[in-house]
Amino acid sequence: TSVVNRIAAGEIIHHPYNAVKEMTENSLDAGSTYIQIELINSSLGSIKIIDNGRGIKMDDMPLVCERYATSKLKEFKDLLKLETFGFRGEALSSISQISNVIIVSKPRDNPYGYQKKALRSPTEERRHILDVIKKYAIHNPTVRFTLKKDNSTEMSTQATLSTLDRIQQVYGASVSSCLKTIEYADSRCQFKIMSSDPSDPNYGRHNKKAYRLIDNNKIKKEMKLVYTGITNGINPPFIYVSLKVEPSHVDVRLLNEDEITDKITTALSANISSPTR
């Protein structure tokens, strides 16, 4: 993942031609000697690319549309002797975020081919949108948010000064009533955690789904581990973390991630305790 972090530059697909460029580069990277590009409805309907390159290994199929999945770079120093167009592993993931992708491949030494589909579903899309709006709503309680879908209101909040009130508006009292607030500051970072307290009698009432308010995988994973140790992982917690660090400690990622994760989990462990029931 350190390679991943260092090459994390946004590769954004703005137009169909960006997608064609990326897919053509992929075909060239795969050693193709024939590349056929077919535009259906002048590229706005769909774009079909066929090549005769080395293909995609069956094991790699589920990964190719994941962010940062690349078969072209093993360690950071490989960047200095790169002979391929692609190395970031962002093109297919970006393309699959905004369009329906079907990949069919048969590597030369494989007897048969196989297919992977990354199809967008409107329900899933709506859920992602709701999810991200909820995150921003919690982090900005003074801003009034309304999310409408067709003619119905999916989410609507009142402006408030209190994060706790906002969490109640967005996730309900079953979540907000058993939160514990933990605050921490030193010269390198500041954070505020609002997270479910397993010793609260209401803990777990909300627990139907895991809330994903932190997009840093390492912090997320380690915080979950603290909870698993205490609750045996039966009820997923609600966790909100507001983290402030010096700008010099962030490029596209958190630079002192390990240190910060450590401080957060230490503070969390010291403040939550086992269910009393």
Note the residues at the interface with ligand ADP (CB under 6 A): 22, 26-27, 29-30, 51, 53, 55-56, 60, 64, 69-72, 86-93
Count of CA atoms in the C-beta half-sphere (13 A) of 123: 0
d(CA 154, CA 133): 11
Q: Which is nearer to ligand ADP, 63 or 164 (CB)?
A: 63
* Paired strand residues for 156: 146
Q: Which is nearer to Mg ion, 87 or 114 (CB)?
A: 87
Instruction: Select the binding partner of residue 78 from ligand ADP, Mg ion, none (C-beta < 5 to 8 A, by kind).
Output: none
Residue 252 CB, shortest distance to ligand ADP, in Å, is 16
Residue 12 CB, shortest distance to Mg ion, in Å, is 14
Q: Which is nearer to ligand ADP, 60 or 259 (CB)?
A: 60
Instruction: Select the binding partner of residue 64 from Mg ion, ligand ADP, none (C-beta < 5 to 8 A, by kind).
Output: ligand ADP
Q: Which is nearer to ligand ADP, 74 or 277 (CB)?
A: 74
Burial of 67 (0-12, 13-18, 19+ CB in 10 A): middle
Q: Which of 13, 19, 26, 94 binds Mg ion (CB under 5 A)?
A: 26
Residue 63 CB, shortest distance to ligand ADP, in Å, is 8
Q: Which is nearer to ligand ADP, 87 or 114 (CB)?
A: 87
Residue 35 CB, shortest distance to ligand ADP, in Å, is 9
The conformational region for residue 90 under phi > 0 = left, psi -120 to 50 = alpha, else beta, is alpha
Q: Is 93 in the site for Mg ion (CB under 5 A)?
A: no
Residue 84 CB, shortest distance to ligand ADP, in Å, is 7
Q: Which of 156, 146, 206 is nearest to 176 (CA)?
A: 206
Residue 212 CB, shortest distance to ligand ADP, in Å, is 23
d(CA 49, CA 39): 9
Q: Is 64 in the site for Mg ion (CB under 5 A)?
A: no
Q: Which of 86, 141, 204, 237 binds Mg ion (CB under 5 A)?
A: 86
**Measured CA distances, 72 to 76, 115, 150, 239 (Å):** 11, 21, 43, 36
Q: Which residues contact 259 (CB under 8 A, 6 or more apart)?
A: 188
Look up tokens 């706005």; give the residue: 44
Which of the stretches 12-20, 39-47, 78-86, 230-238 binds Mg ion when contact is defined by CB under 5 A? 78-86
Residues 131-151 as b/e (b if ≥16 CB within 10 A, e otherwise) read eebbbebbeebeeebebeeee
Residue 81 CB, shortest distance to ligand ADP, in Å, is 16
Q: Which residues bind Mg ion (CB under 5 A)?
A: 26, 86, 91
